[in-house]
Amino acid sequence: MVGGGQLARMTHQAAVALGQSLRVLAAGPEDPAALVSPNVVLGSHTDLAALREVASGATVLTFDHEHVPQEHLKTLVAEGVHVFPSPQALLHAQDKLVMRRHLTELGAPVPPFSTVVSVADAVSFGEEHGWPCVLKAVRGGYDGRGVWMLADAEAAATVVAEQLAAGTPLLVEQRVDFRRELAAVVARSPFGQGAAWPVVETVQRDGICALVLAPAPALGPELAEQAEQLALRLAEQLDVVGVLAVELFETQSGKLVVNELAMRPHNSGHWSIEGARTSQFEQHLRAVLDYPLGDTSMTMPVVVMANILGAVHTPAMSMDERTHHLFARMPEAKLHLYGKTERLGRKVGHVTVLGTEVQDVRERAERAAHWMSHAEWTDGWDVHGE
């Protein structure tokens, strides 16, 4: 697996049960997956020699992020490496313009968009489609980095000029007036088998995923079916192998619009570790190894995952002591720590709570994650009291 982040770390965990071992290409020895895998190549995902080394003798090469340059992927394929997802498929998760254009051709719902090579391009788009509109880096964005809301022509002039000067390829798209954000996560194997998890709601704060509710509360069965079918269809039409996460907007009028695609285990699927019969990490491995896919049904009616994000002020209390307190108060909370140091907004772990009633499960998951981030109980619970 190229990339040594938490996705590789959790994939490694799933690989153990399948009798597989995951070799990772990590940028440094402190990367989350490098800390747990005995089989680590240290190097950059942009270095062909490092990519060759990690792929050497492996059954298949797959990814925990989408940043490997296309030319390297194509070279590896030409040298006989089994790369899944293929470079052609992965391109749609690397390049938002390619993705938007191809999805338009395939008749998938996307917002109106246009390429931006000058300030005038963005301004005329805003004038035609209305302000505010959304400027995006075509490549390389994540966790909201590379996304700018343009309030008006004046804001467009400043931001577009700045980004063009920095050499960022840009696109602009209509701001979708959404009710909420959803994700349809599916997997597809080379044999052509597809499997979908229930559609989830994702809650973002400051451009970062804070919470995932499975299944998406009060989502009509028709819209849920539409989202699942759309994701399965895109997996097939784009020839994706592995996990595909389709990030969606549910508009105010109850329609679906595709925001973006990820072809790897995704934050919106972490709940599946405890919440589904087959986790996204196991499923990704099954898919890239061309095993039959596993049962995606839920283990409990409601599952909520809350990310543990680095706080403004890292608490004086150690992560270990916070863990003691969390477990003492909430034996039902399932904790995943990634071995990362805390920094503002950084995903350092997540908590999953399972249950039957969404309000209750959500409250407990949020309370647990807030505790782990801040060493502070939101309901005033006294750690040394009764």
Instruction: Report in angstroms how near the CB of residue 88 gets to ligand ADP at its nearest.
Output: 20
47-50, Cβ contacts within 8 angstroms, sequence gap of 24 or more: 48/72, 48/75, 50/25
Beta pairing, strands 24-26 & 40-42: parallel
Instruction: Report in angstroms how near the CB of residue 306 gets to ligand ADP at its nearest.
Output: 17
Instruction: Report in angstroms how near the CB of residue 181 gets to ligand ADP at its nearest.
Output: 6
Identify which of residues 159 and 176 has a Cβ nearer to ligand ADP in the complex.
Answer: 176
Identify which of residues 125 and 371 has a Cβ nearer to ligand ADP in the complex.
Answer: 125
Identify which of residues 132 and 310 has a Cβ nearer to ligand ADP in the complex.
Answer: 132
CA angle 344, 245, 169 (to 5 degrees): 65
Instruction: Report in angstroms how near the CB of residue 326 gets to ligand ADP at its nearest.
Output: 28
Instruction: Report in angstroms how near the CB of residue 202 gets to ligand ADP at its nearest.
Output: 8
Instruction: Report in angstroms how near the CB of residue 358 gets to ligand ADP at its nearest.
Output: 21
Identify which of residues 173 and 282 has a Cβ nearer to ligand ADP in the complex.
Answer: 173
Residues that bind ligand ADP (CB under 6 A): 111, 134, 136, 141-147, 173, 175-176, 181, 204, 207, 247, 259-260
Identify which of residues 143 and 363 has a Cβ nearer to ligand ADP in the complex.
Answer: 143
- The CB density around residue 29, as the number of other CB atoms within 10 Å, is 10
Task: Using alpha carbons, list the distances in angstroms from residue 166 to 146, 153, 161.
Answer: 12, 20, 9
Identify which of residues 61 and 176 has a Cβ nearer to ligand ADP in the complex.
Answer: 176
- For 305, half-sphere exposure in the C-beta direction (CA atoms, 13 angstrom radius) is 25
- The CB density around residue 305, as the number of other CB atoms within 10 Å, is 29
> Measured between alpha carbons, how far is 285 from 18 in angstroms, rounded to an integer?
9
The residues, ordered by sequence, that sit 6+ positions from 120 with a Cβ below 8 Å of its Cβ are none
